[in-house]
Amino acid sequence: MADDEARDLHERNRALDEQLKRLVRTEHRLYKSQRELGQQLRRVDAVNRLALDAAKTNEPAAIAGSAFEMLFSLFPYEQGLAVVTDDGGRSYPLAVSAAPGCEHDGEAGLARLGRQDLPDIEVPEAPVIVARTGDAPDELRPLLGLLDRVFASPEAQVAEGSALILPLQTQPDRRRGALVLRRLGRAHSYHEVLPKDGDAPYLMLVARQVAAALGKTELLISLRRSYDELEAAQRELVNQARLAAIGELAAVVAHEVRNPLGAIFNALSALNRVATGRDGNDEPVTQLLGILKEEAHRLERIVSDLIDFSRPAPSSKRDLALAPIAAEALDSAAADAEAREVKLELDADEGLRAVVDEHLLRRALLNLVDNATQATKRGGVVRVRVARDDEGAFVEVADEGHGIPDDDLGRIFEPFYTTRATGTGLGLAVVRRFADSHGGTIDVSSAPERGSVFTIRLEVADTRPQSSGCRALGRGRAS
């Protein structure tokens, strides 16, 4: 009887033990399921946060930084580098990052690497999980080697570490670059889990989301650039139409004024002869005639400015040396400069040539030199330089005046805009029209109390050896 009870108790204990084992296994499976579910929820939440962060910025580097932050929160990688590829197939570094708590000099390394083409960079078609960096395939070593150029890490730890490469692509045949992550060869804590082959679909989802965000940014930047170019073209079109209307008006005014102006000069000459031939004290009459003559000449200069401004684009361009034209312009301005006690200096490349309209170039330079002479204090120097650089030929006129206020810099080339009590405000407009008609540019730089520098840029006609000569005109003329 006792044996039967013992056997029954043993059977019950064994059944209870089996139930307990099944319960433990079930609880373990439930724990793993909950852990996997939590992991999946964290990953889904991470992807959502990445999408929200990417939607808040149009900066590619910021998008890459958000991607690294997300990946560092999911996997125990420590270093990250983003490499992007443009439409021409050229790759260059975009951003660098490191996991929280990991000291690094990645930013300095990225600065050393610079925005340069990265040759021999092969981006894989799918995410690549490298269990040991030292065993990475040869085709991936150049990409992984970029991390060595950016981060200063011990070689032994690099070789024993692990890595992850995510291709940035929105289409199978369109790869935009890669995210490269690396962990150095240090021991993992119990909760740190590197990605496995089964995580490839999720990693590909992340990579495509980052690529799509970068593509959106690229599209927005391109669209913004197109809008800016369109706006600039519209402004230029409106400006050209406005200038054409002003030019037509100026031509009409100049034509209508020049004829009576000729009659005024003839009458002045006759009056001057009559006053000279009369006896007695006619000094007041002579002074009045002198005033009339001076004002008539000023009116004639205004008409000349109007005609120069309204003249259509030149058709008499020739291959000419620039130095003689500049010298003639300075000769024309020498008398006025000497009266103002301002010295004119010319430093010219005698062999420099360009295809220009001689009259218009001389007139443009004369306008610049006249303005510089009026701006320069007595005893100062106006320097004219004719030279070339990597961008082509240029003529530079520098004065020693008070400089141009910032509020005026944007308007000085507008027709009829002037800050002087006298003058038409057409001199610089004529200079700009000359530069535009020759496919060149006119630039100005100015600093308070340090003067202004106007630079006309032209295309070089040929490349003769440079020989520089200096000459001085006006007050203090060099012998």
Q: pLDDT for 117-158, tens place per residue?
A: 566 677 788 898 988 888 888 888 888 888 888 887 777 777
Give the closest residue to 157 by CA, choosing from 124, 191, 120, 182. 182
Put simply, whether the predicted model's pTM sits higher than 0.95 gets the answer no
User: Tell me, what's the pLDDT at 435?
Assistant: 84
User: Tell me, what's the pLDDT at 1?
Assistant: 57
Whole-number Å distance between alpha carbons of 303 and 307: 6
Whole-number Å distance between alpha carbons of 122 and 146: 12
Helices marked H in 56-140: 60-74, 106-113
Task: Give the side-chain half-sphere CA count within 13 A for 440.
Answer: 25
Whole-number Å distance between alpha carbons of 86 and 268: 73
User: Tell me, what's the pLDDT at 253?
Assistant: 66
Whole-number Å distance between alpha carbons of 108 and 282: 85
Burial status of residue 3 (CB atoms within 10 A of its CB: 0-12, 13-18, 19 or more): exposed
User: Tell me, what's the pLDDT at 117?
Assistant: 54
Whole-number Å distance between alpha carbons of 24 and 30: 10
Sign of CA dihedral 214, 217, 221, 223: positive
- Provide CB contacts within 8 A for 380, sequence distance 6+: 342, 343, 399, 400, 401
User: Tell me, what's the pLDDT at 342?
Assistant: 92
Q: What type of residue sits at position 434?
A: F
| Partners of 394 in the β-ladder | 387, 457
User: Tell me, what's the pLDDT at 464?
Assistant: 45
Q: What type of residue sits at position 393?
A: A
Taken as a whole, the chain contains a residue count of: 479
Give the closest residue to 392 by CA, choosing from 458, 336, 449, 478. 458
Edge-first strand listing for the sheet containing 468-474? 441-447, 451-458, 392-398, 381-389, 343-349, 468-474
What φ, ψ does residue 444 adopt, rounded to 5°?
Answer: -140, 140
Edge-first strand listing for the sheet containing 91-98? 91-98, 79-85, 174-183, 162-171, 128-130
User: Tell me, what's the pLDDT at 454?
Assistant: 93
- Ranges of the chain with pLDDT below 50: 314, 463-479
